[in-house]
């Protein structure tokens, strides 16, 4: 018995020694162009990273995090290149600002007026990433798609003038993010590409007369101070990107660490959607309390806007097809999934 006890102790010592020898501290820099005042950045530190750290407890692996936000390492739209080039190991990649490099991920931005439900849109697009062709667009840029999709609540129009009809937009300069500039076709407005970090000053100084934005970001960005007329057009919720890692770095990680990143991304998505749902109603209430005027257009207004546009989705799909990627197939898959889940698009972009 004593001999067996000694053998057991020796085995335990060897196991502990091996575990210590294989223990590893991994350096990881996470980059985001936006500051943490915005949910998609704030929840990285509040949920994504803590979840990963907890998952790795007892594994012998730890991550030494460096969080680089608000343009400290990369500006909005430059996160993809920062991660691709290895300046950061991971980042929140804004696919809407990289439509050329991540064309398939932008399908929702070329299909406005489809669904105002962020959960429906985000689960649909995240689910489409089961298609290897969707993941391939990340891999072509040296990235591994981790998950944690960023859901954008229903886009609306905020202006420094009242909008009572589409005619009121004629000749007005409206700032919009990336592909959303296309939503202004047929309205007579002049679309200008922009982003949340510059909207406030551009409206304040007269560069824009208004912006296409979403309530949950408009409040923290104080955009209602310079564009107090809020028109709920119903452009729709959107998929704006997700968390990705440098692929070479990711492929070199132990499997347990790779899995922990995925678990962290799932927790981030759940927390994001829950937080977003609460934030939207609060945002509208507070902006109104602070002097904003909120108007929701009727179905006729919405239908007139949507039907007056060129079919930007078909044009987009054909361009993507021409680049050797399945634009038409992904457009159909997206629209079919939305309809199957109970969504009621104002316009069936894939059928016209």
pLDDT digits (tens, 9 = 90+) for 82-103: 999 999 999 999 998 898 999 9
E strands present in the chain: 24-31, 61-68, 90-94, 143-147, 151-159, 173-176, 190-193, 210-214, 229-239, 241-246, 293-296
Q: Minimal CA–CA distance to 178: which of 152, 158, 201?
A: 152
pLDDT > 70: percent of the chain: 93
pLDDT band at 23 (very low <50, low <70, confident <90, very high): low
Section 193-211 average pLDDT = 94
Question: Looking at residue 179, what is its pLDDT?
Answer: 85
What SS3 state is found at 240? coil
Alpha-carbon gap, residue 40 to 216, rounded angstroms: 11
Q: Which residue has the tokens 């934030």?
A: 279
Q: Hey, what CATH topology would domain 153-238+281-340 get?
A: D-Maltodextrin-Binding Protein; domain 2 (3.40.190)
Which residue, among 191, 185, 155, has the nearest Cα to 172 in the 3D structure?
A: 191
Interatomic CA distance for residues 315 and 12, integer angstroms = 65
CATH classification (class only), 23-101+117-151+240-279: alpha beta
Give the DSSP per-residue string, 80-141: HHHHHTTS-SEEEEEGGG-TTTSSGGGGGGGS-SS---HHHHHHHHHHHTTSHHHHHHHHTT
**Mean pLDDT on 319-339:** 97
Judge whether residue 18 has pLDDT over 50: no
The answer to whether residue 294 scores a pLDDT higher than 70 is yes
Q: What's the token pair of residue 187?
A: 């309205």
The whole-angstrom separation of Cα 127 and Cα 334 is: 10
Mean pLDDT within 144-173: 95
Residue 29 pLDDT > 50: yes
Give the C-alpha separation, 159 to 171, whole Å: 13
Q: What is the predicted pLDDT for the residue at 267?
A: 97
Looking at residue 305, its pLDDT comes to 95
Read off φ and ψ for residue 66, nearest 5 degrees: -125, 115
Whether the per-residue pLDDT at 21 is higher than 60: the answer is no
pLDDT tier, 22 (very low <50, low <70, confident <90, very high otherwise): low
Phi-psi region of 342 (alpha: psi -120 to 50; beta: other; left: phi over 0): left
Contact (Cβ atoms closer than 8 angstroms) between residue 230 and residue 162: no
Sheet with 241-246: strands ordered across: 61-68, 24-31, 90-94, 241-246, 143-147
Residue 12 has pLDDT above 80, yes or no: no
In this predicted structure, the answer to whether residue 218 has a pLDDT above a threshold of 60 is yes
Which tens digits make up the pLDDT trace of 231-279? 999 999 999 999 999 999 999 999 999 999 999 999 999 999 999 988 9
Give residue 17's pLDDT band: very low, low, confident or very high (50, 70, 90): very low
Q: For CATH 3.40.190.170, list the domain ranges present in the chain.
A: 23-101+117-151+240-279, 153-238+281-340
- Tell me: pLDDT of 3 over 70: no
pLDDT at 316 over 90: yes
Kindly state the helix (H) or strand (E) to which residue 13 belongs, with its residue range: helix 2-22
Confidence tier at 345 by pLDDT (50, 70, 90): very high
Q: What is the mean pLDDT of the segment spanning 164-170?
A: 94
* Residue-wise pLDDT tens digits, 107-144: 999 999 999 999 999 999 999 999 999 999 999 999 99
pLDDT(54) > 60 = yes
Terminal CA-to-CA distance of the chain, rounded, Å? Answer: 81
What CA–CA distance (Å, rounded) separates 263 from 130? 16
């Amino acid at each position: 018995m004593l001999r067996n006890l000694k053998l057991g102790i020796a085995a335990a010592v060897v196991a502990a020694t091996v575990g210590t020898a294989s223990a590893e501290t991994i350096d990881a820099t996470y980059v985001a162009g936006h500051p943490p005042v915005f949910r998609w950045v704030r929840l990285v530190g509040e949920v994504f990273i803590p979840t990963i750290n907890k998952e790795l407890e007892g594994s012998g692996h730890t991550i030494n995090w460096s969080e680089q936000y608000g343009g400290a390492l990369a500006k909005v739209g430059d996160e993809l290149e920062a991660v691709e080039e290895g300046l950061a190991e991971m980042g929140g990649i804004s696919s809407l600002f990289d439509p050329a490099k991540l064309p398939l991920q932008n399908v929702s931005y070329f299909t406005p007026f489809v669904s105002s439900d962020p959960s429906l849109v985000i689960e649909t697009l995240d689910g489409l990433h089961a298609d290897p062709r969707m993941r391939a667009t990340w891999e072509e840029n040296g990235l591994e798609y981790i998950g944690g999709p960023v859901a954008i609540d229903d886009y609306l129009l905020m202006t420094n003038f009242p909008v009572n009809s589409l005619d009121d937009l004629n000749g007005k300069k409206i700032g919009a993010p990336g592909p959303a500039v296309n939503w202004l076709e047929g309205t007579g407005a002049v679309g200008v590409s922009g982003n949340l970090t510059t909207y406030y000053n551009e409206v304040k100084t007269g560069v824009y007369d208004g912006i296409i934005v979403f309530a949950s970001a408009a409040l923290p960005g104080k955009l209602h101070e310079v564009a107090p007329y809020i028109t709920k057009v119903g452009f729709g919720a959107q998929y704006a990107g997700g968390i990705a890692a440098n692929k070479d770095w990711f492929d070199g990680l132990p499997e347990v660490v790779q899995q922990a990143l995925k678990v962290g991304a799932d927790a981030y998505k759940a927390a994001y959607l829950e937080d977003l749902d609460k934030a939207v109603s609060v945002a509208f209430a507070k902006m109104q309390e602070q002097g904003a005027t909120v108007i929701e257009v009727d179905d006729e207004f919405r239908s007139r806007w949507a039907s007056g546009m060129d079919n930007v989705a078909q044009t987009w799909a054909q361009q993507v097809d021409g680049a050797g990627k399945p634009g038409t197939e992904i457009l159909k898959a997206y629209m079919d999934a939305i309809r199957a889940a109970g969504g009621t698009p104002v316009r069936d972009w894939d059928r016209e």
